[in-house]
A and B are shown apart, each in its own frame.
Chain A
Amino acid sequence: EVQLVESGGGLVQPGRSLRLSCAASGFTFDDYAMHWVRQAPGKGLEWVSGISWNSGSIGYADSVKGRFTISRDNAKNSLYLQMNSLRAEDTALYYCAKDESEVVAGPIDYWGQGTLVTVSS
């Protein structure tokens, strides 16, 4: 059974940093691209960032480019999101999600339950 478990969310002040982690199990992690998708309270889904199986292809939404960094450790079956210079508009539930393919070119076939990030003073 595919499991994606996010951690690292919490309350943080504007301008500060936070690092999210996602522990994956139930599939061969290094065979698939991975994503972070967020959802602000009461709003729709927003793709944040994606990374191919070997970290050779990485992409970011314009709203986070230059502030967020995605990475993965295939030896640890883990995905990460380093979030710097956080803003109030980054407040959201952050989902870790698995791509159906090895590159960032497929649908998202599995989702975690999310970790909540609240940016507020």
Chain B
Amino acid sequence: EIVMTQSPATLSVSPGKRATLSCRASQSVSSNLAWYQQKPGQAPRLLIYGASTRATGIPARFSGSGSGTEFTLTISSLQSEDFAVYYCQQYNNWPLFGQGTRLEIK
């Protein structure tokens, strides 16, 4: 059974700075990895799929990398609207989400 682990649980970063979020799979999921953003009271939004492809309408400051078991979501210059909870999800097998990383304003 695959386990998805995100780190850190909470990340405090100042606006305009770079944020780096990590996601680790307990076994290889190839590049079948997506990232989602969720703001309070809203449904999740797809940001990245295929580990590194931005979804439609997602700003270029969001980028994803990695393959196999180690993945990273980078937000290059944080805007106020980027402070939210981020989830990774593997879809190499039946879908499974990580526990989330809360990105908060420092």
Say which size band chain B's interface belongs to.
20 to 34
Interface residues as binary, A41-54 with B (CB distance below 8 Å gives 1, 0 otherwise): 00011110010000
Q: For A50, what are the chain B residues with a Cβ–Cβ distance below 8 Å? A: 94-95
B21 interface contact, C-beta 8 A? no
What is the minimal beta-carbon distance from A31 to any residue of chain B, in angstroms?
17
Q: For A44, what are the chain B residues with a Cβ–Cβ distance below 8 Å? A: 85, 87, 97-100
What is the minimal beta-carbon distance from A20 to any residue of chain B, in angstroms?
15
The 22 listed contacts between A and B (C-beta, < 8 Å) are A35-B95, A37-B97, A44-B85, A44-B97, A44-B99, A47-B94, A100-B49, A104-B91, A104-B94, A104-B95, A106-B49, A107-B34, A107-B46, A107-B49, A107-B89, A108-B44, A108-B89, A109-B46, A110-B46, A111-B43, A111-B45, A112-B43
